[in-house]
Amino acid sequence: MRRLWEIVMGRLSVDRPSPALKQLPTAVAFAAATITAISVPSILITSPYAVIVGSVFMTIATIVALYFTRQVTYDRWWALIVPGLSLTAIAFLRVGTGGITSLFGSLIILPMVWIATERGRRWIAVSMFGASAALMLPYVVNWRAPADASEWLRGVVGPIVYGITAAIINEMSRQSRKQYVAIRDLARQREALLDEAMAGAQALAVNEERLRAADRLTRSVLDAVTEQAVIGTDLTGLIDVWNPGASVMLGLAPDETQGKRYMFEFHLEEELEARAKELSYPPGATVLNPGFSALVESARLGRAEVRDWVYVRNDGSQLSVSVAVTPRSDEQGVTIGYIFVATDVTQALEVSRLKDEFVGLISHELRTPLSSILGYLELMRDDEESPLSTEQMQYLGVAERNAHRLLRLVGDLLFTAQVSSGRFPLDVSLVALGDVVNASVISAKPNAANAGVDLVLDGSVKSIVVRGDAVRLGQACDNLISNAIKFTPRGGTVTVSVGTNAEDAIITVRDTGMGIPASELDQLYARFFRASTATRNAVPGVGLGLTITKAIVTAHEGELDVESEEGVGTAFSLSLPLPRKVAA
Amino acid sequence: MTETSRQPRVVIADDDADIRALVAIAVDRAGFDLVASAEDGTQAYAAILEFRPDMVVLDVSMPGMTGLEVSRLVRNDIALDDTMIVMLSAAVDEQSRDAGFEAGASHFLSKPFSPRELAIRLSDLMPAS
Partner-chain contact B111 A411, CB within 8 Å: no
| Domain at B38, CATH number | 3.40.50.2300
Give the helix ranges, DSSP H, for A383-469: 390-420, 433-451
What domain count does chain A have? 4
With respect to residue B124, please indicate whether it lies within any of the assigned structural domains.
no
pLDDT tier, B4 (very low <50, low <70, confident <90, very high otherwise) = very low
| CB count in 10 Å sphere of residue A329 | 12
Please provide the distance, in angstroms rounded to a whole number, between the alpha carbons at the two ends of chain A: 101
Q: What is the mean pLDDT of residues A511-533?
A: 84
- Residue A373 belongs to some domain of the structure: yes
User: For residue A580, what pLDDT band results from cuts at 50, 70 and 90?
Assistant: low
Identify whether A212 is part of a domain: no
Query: Do the strands B84-89 and B107-110 form a parallel or antiparallel pair, or are they unpaired?
Result: parallel
Output A584 or A397, whichever has higher pLDDT: A397
Same domain, A358 and A281: no
Question: Is residue A116 a contact partner of residue A163, using CB atoms and an 8 Å limit?
Answer: no
User: pLDDT tens digit string along A41-68?
Assistant: 887 788 888 889 999 999 999 999 888 8
What is the arithmetic mean of pLDDT over B12-18?
93
Residues of A with CB under 8 A from a CB of B: 360, 363-365, 367-368, 370-376, 378-379, 382, 407, 411, 414, 418, 423, 425, 427
Q: What is the mean pLDDT of residues B45-71?
A: 93
Co-location of A248 and A354 in the same domain: no
Does any domain span residue B93? yes
> Same domain, yes or no, for A410 and A459?
no
Whether residue A145 sits in one domain with residue A59: yes
Residue A270 lies in a domain: yes
Instruction: Considering only the beta carbons, identify the residue of B19, B94, B115 that sits closest to A378.
Output: B115
Q: From the CA of B52, how many Å to the nearest CA of chain A?
A: 28
In degrees, rounded to 5, the angle at the alpha carbon of residue A578 between the alpha carbons of residues A573 and A579 is: 150
* Pair A373, A444 in one domain: no
Q: What is the pLDDT of residue A213?
A: 93
Residue B128 inside a domain? The answer is no
A525-573 pLDDT, tens digit per residue, is: 887 787 777 777 777 777 888 888 998 998 888 999 999 998 899 999 9
Question: If you average pLDDT over every residue of chain A, what do you get?
Answer: 84
Same domain flag for A310 and A333:
yes
Q: Is residue A321 part of a domain?
A: yes
Interface predicted TM-score (ipTM): 0.88
> Of residues A522 and A325, which shows the higher confidence score?
A325
Q: Is the pLDDT of residue A165 over 80?
A: yes
A420, A454, A481: which is the final residue of a domain?
Answer: A420
Same structural domain, A21 and A165: yes
pLDDT of residue A291: 61
| pLDDT tens track for A7-21 | 666 555 545 678 888
DSSP labels, B86-115: EEEES--SHHHHHHHHHTT-SEEEESS--H
Residue B129 included in any domain: no
B125 domain-assigned = no
Give the CA distances from residue B7 to residues A100, B10, B85, B122, B123, in Å, rounded to whole numbers and listed in that order.
175, 9, 17, 13, 11
Rounded to a whole number of angstroms, the distance from the CA of B12 to the nearest CA of chain A is: 16
Measured between CB atoms, does B28 come within 8 Å of chain A?
Answer: no
One domain, residues A64 and A164: yes
In a domain, A209, yes or no: no
Q: Say how many C-beta atoms besides its own lie within 10 A of residue A199's C-beta.
A: 10
**Is residue B79 included in any domain, yes or no?**
yes
Domain that holds residue A458: 429-583
A406 to chain B: closest CA residue: B112
- A298 occurs within a structural domain: yes
Looking at residue A380, its pLDDT comes to: 92
With contacts defined as CB-CB under 8 Å, which chain B residues touch A411? 92
**B112 and A379 in contact by Cβ < 8 A?**
no
pLDDT tens for each residue of A450-487: 999 999 988 766 678 899 989 889 999 999 999 999 88
Q: Which of A439, A548, A441, A541 is nearest to A495 (CA)?
A: A441
Q: What is the pLDDT of residues A78-109, one digit of tens each?
A: 778 888 899 899 988 888 888 777 878 888 88
Percent of chain A's residues with pLDDT above 90? 30
The pLDDT of residue A493 is above 90: yes
CA dist A77 to A12, A82, A175, Å? 17, 10, 20
CA distance A387 to A382: 8
Residue A510 has pLDDT above 50, yes or no: yes
**Would B123 be classed as within a structural domain?**
no
Q: Can you state the percent helix, strand and coil of chain B, rounding each to 5?
A: 45, 20, 35
Residue A197 placed within a domain:
no
For B53, the domain range is 2-118
Put simply, whether B109 touches A (Cβ < 8 Å) is no
Interface of B with A in 36-95 (CB under 8 A): 61, 90-95
CATH label of the domain that carries residue A333 = 3.30.450.20
Indicate the DSSP class of residue A385.
S
Asked if residue A207 is part of any domain, the answer here is no
Cα separation, A463 vs A484, whole angstroms: 25
A333: which residues sit within 8 A by CB, 6+ positions away? none
Span B105-109, average pLDDT? 90
Q: Which of A384, A400, A420 is the last residue of a domain?
A: A420
Please identify, among A398, A420, A442, the residue that sits at the C-terminal boundary of a domain: A420
Q: Which residues contact A195 (CB under 8 A, 6 or more apart)?
A: none
Q: Determine, for residues A368 and B116 on separate chains, whether the beta-carbon distance falls below 8 Å.
A: no
